[in-house]
């Protein structure tokens, strides 16, 4: 493991082990919210929430959403933030990728050794063309 990767992982771990930050991430999983909304929902002072949001933003777990002409600033989860909240979703992508690669590899192997009269011989001929 690369030394820089270790520092990033350690930093991320340090960021998400604070209860208020995990509560913020879970709240933002429902919908984007302002610091004031998070403050009311979690029962914390808005400056405390803002400090935690800044830390989460620095770790690329949340992002600010500013809309021109609107005075409210919303925060929402980024893709890495969603990965922290829902780590199991990445597991399915990995499993499906392995299945697909195995299927394609198996199909290639079967086609490579098929002869006239075999069920997969037509696929072999199409691949050769």
pLDDT digit string, tens, across residues 3-38: 444 344 677 778 888 889 999 999 999 999 999 999
How large a percentage of the chain has pLDDT more than 90? 40
Identify the sign of the CA torsion 80, 85, 88, 93: negative
Q: Is the pTM of this model over 0.75?
A: no
Task: Give whole-number Cα distances, 58 to 11, 38, 54, in Å.
Answer: 10, 18, 6
Highest-scoring range by mean pLDDT, 39-53, 83-97, 110-124? 39-53
Q: Which residues pair with 75 in a beta bridge?
A: 33, 64
């Amino acid at each position: 493991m690369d030394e820089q990767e270790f520092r990033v992982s350690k930093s991320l771990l340090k960021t998400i082990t604070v209860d208020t930050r995990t509560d913020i991430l879970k709240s933002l999983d429902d919908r984007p919210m302002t610091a004031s909304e998070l403050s009311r929902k979690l029962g914390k002072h808005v400056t405390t929430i803002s400090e935690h949001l800044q830390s989460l933003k620095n770790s690329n777990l949340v992002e600010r959403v500013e809309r021109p002409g609107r005075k409210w600033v919303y925060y929402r989860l980024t893709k890495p933030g969603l990965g922290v909240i829902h780590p199991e979703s990445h597991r399915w992508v990995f499993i499906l990728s392995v299945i697909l690669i195995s299927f394609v590899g198996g199909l290639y192997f079967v086609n490579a050794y098929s002869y006239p009269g075999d069920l997969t011989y037509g696929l072999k001929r199409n691949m050769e063309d």
